[in-house]
Structure 1
């Protein structure tokens, strides 16, 4: 049997020109571009099993995305020294593989992850977003209060059913644990929301941001975003914030590689709400 090795890829991309991560017929996607470039360098179908930590939507960026794939050991040994630079020459400028690292076979970019961390950038400057940052910053038309944003965020931290903030999928739970949610104002005036959880359901981060922004500009009370957690269906009152302000900045994994398989098994178990 052919010996195969698993590689972890750390990936960054500007999501502006992509229809999301997942490969789609007739659409330009991050997975499609990576696969085509790997096939060009290594041969069609040599790299297999491309699996990502988080499937970002169309227009969403990443500076800390993680995926894995499998290669024949002899191919990796032949290309290891120069593969990263060769791929850099052939990849389009809006996607970069920043590192390729051999990992244990039971590492799973998706299921071994302990957290995903996103940042959402907003400006409330009266002139809007700076031209060089317009693809990653949302221009908000009203002044935003940092204290109000953080008060709204505080009520959303913890384990909750986020059905009001998710696009529900059949046989999928909307129970999630948000371990961090806060806002800061950087020296350049940008407001940045940091959102971290064990996992997110579709459109959840942008929905949370959309709810907090209307609390931050005073159109809703600061406890309104948390009040929606009692609902069991998606709320039509929540406006999903635009994709271009969102960036996946980090994915966490166990420090001990022997824990990859255990973490993957734990993640695969369906979250069941407590009956207490």
Structure 2
């Protein structure tokens, strides 16, 4: 049996021209582009088991995405010193593999993760987003109050059923634990929402932001976003804001590699139990 080595990839991409992460026939995706690049360097089907921490939607960006692949050990040892630069030459400029790291076989980019952290950028400047940043910042047509945004955010922190903010999938839970949700206004005036959770369901972050923005501009009370947590179905009055303002900035893992397998096992059990 051929020996294989698991390799962690730290990846960044501009999601503007991608149809999301997951490979789709006839669509340009981040997974598809990475798979093609590995095939050109190492040969077809030599890099297997590409697994990602967070399957971002079309238009969503990443500066801290993590995935893993399994490579034939002999090929990995042969190309360890040159693989990063070879991938850089082959990959399009809107996706970069920033690091390649050998990890234990127990590492699972998806299930070993302890948290995912996203940032969403909004400008309420009357002239809209700066032209050079229009692909990463949502232009909001009304003035936003930072204190109101943070008050609305506080009601969403903790473990809740976020059914009102998710696109429900069959046999999937909408219970999530949001461990951080807050807003800041940067020196350039751009408002940034930081949201961190153990995991997210589809469209959850953009739905949360959509609810907080209408509280931040005064059209809804600040306790309205948190009040929707009593719902057990998608709240039709919540707008899903545009994908281009959203960036995956960090994925967390156990500090001790010995914890990778235990974390993956507990995550799988949680998902199965919650979905039953």
TM-score tier by shorter-chain length is over 0.9
Cα distance, 1:270 vs structure 2:
3.3
> What is the match of residue 161 of structure 2?
161
Cα distance, 1:2 vs structure 2:
1.1
Q: Deviations over 1:32-60 (max 9, x none)?
A: 00000110110000000000000000000
> What is the match of residue 225 of structure 2?
225
Cα distance, 1:269 vs structure 2:
1.5
> What is the match of residue 201 of structure 1?
201
> What is the match of residue 87 of structure 1?
87
> What is the match of residue 15 of structure 2?
15
> SS of 2:27's equivalent?
coil
Cα distance in 1 for partners of 2:71, 2:177 equals: 34
> What is the match of residue 41 of structure 1?
41
Cα distance, 1:87 vs structure 2:
0.5
Structure 1 stretches (4+) deviating beyond 6 angstroms?
none
Cα distance in 2 for partners of 1:56, 1:92 equals: 18
Cα distance in 2 for partners of 1:241, 1:161 equals: 20
Q: Deviations over 1:221-264 (max 9, x none)?
A: 00000000000000001000100000000000000000000000
Cα distance in 2 for partners of 1:165, 1:148 equals: 20
> What is the match of residue 51 of structure 1?
51
Cα distance in 2 for partners of 1:205, 1:53 equals: 16
Cα distance in 2 for partners of 1:139, 1:166 equals: 23
Does the CA-based 8 Å contact 1:173-1:270 persist in structure 2? no
Matches within 5 A, 1:126-205: 126-205=126-205
1:64 matched to 2:64? The reply is yes
> What is the match of residue 96 of structure 2?
96
> What is the match of residue 250 of structure 2?
250
Does the CA-based 8 Å contact 1:153-1:181 persist in structure 2? yes
Q: Deviations over 1:38-88 (max 9, x none)?
A: 101100000000000000000000000000000011000110111000100
Gaps of 5+ in 2: none
> What is the match of residue 112 of structure 2?
112
> SS of 1:102's equivalent?
strand
Q: Deviations over 1:139-192 (max 9, x none)?
A: 000000000000000000000000000000000000000000000000000000
Cα distance in 2 for partners of 1:266, 1:145 equals: 40
> SS of 2:99's equivalent?
strand
Root-mean-square deviation (CA), in Å? 0.7
Cα distance in 2 for partners of 1:269, 1:204 equals: 22
Cα distance in 1 for partners of 2:57, 2:199 equals: 15
